[in-house]
């Protein structure tokens, strides 16, 4: 009497393959998450924010918060520009030598 399972691998072999596949997928996912966090750390540092802010990509829903913060928040460079404008260092006061019309 045959059971019809002669060509099928043993259950122990299938369990081993499943574990190897799961470990491989976890490693690929970890590498992709680390790469994504590294990229966002670079983006945050180039916008003037602390680079560690990019580590929010590793926290659930942190990626949505970080994207909204970078997109709609005031960047440090804009704060500095506003501060310089208030001090009168920018804005074209006309006191510079190039705009005086004098020929050297």
Look up the pTM and report it.
0.62
What 8-state DSSP symbol labels residue 39?
H
Q: How many angstroms separate the CA atoms of 97 and 104, rounded?
A: 10
Residue with tokens 């399972």: 5
pLDDT tens per residue, range 46-74: 988 899 999 999 998 998 999 999 899 88
pLDDT tens per residue, range 28-44: 999 999 999 999 999 99
- For residues 46 and 54, the answer to whether their CB atoms sit within 8 Å is no
């Amino acid at each position: 009497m045959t059971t019809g399972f002669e060509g099928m691998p043993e259950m122990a072999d299938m369990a081993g393959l499943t574990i190897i596949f799961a470990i491989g997928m976890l490693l690929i996912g970890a590498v992709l998450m680390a790469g994504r966090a590294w990229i966002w750390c670079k983006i945050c540092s180039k916008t003037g924010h602390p680079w560690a802010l990019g580590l929010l990509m590793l926290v659930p829903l942190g990626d949505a918060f970080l994207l909204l913060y970078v997109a709609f928040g005031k960047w440090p460079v804009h704060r500095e520009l506003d501060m310089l404008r208030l001090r009168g260092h920018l804005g074209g006061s006309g006191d510079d030598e190039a705009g005086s019309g004098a020929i050297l």
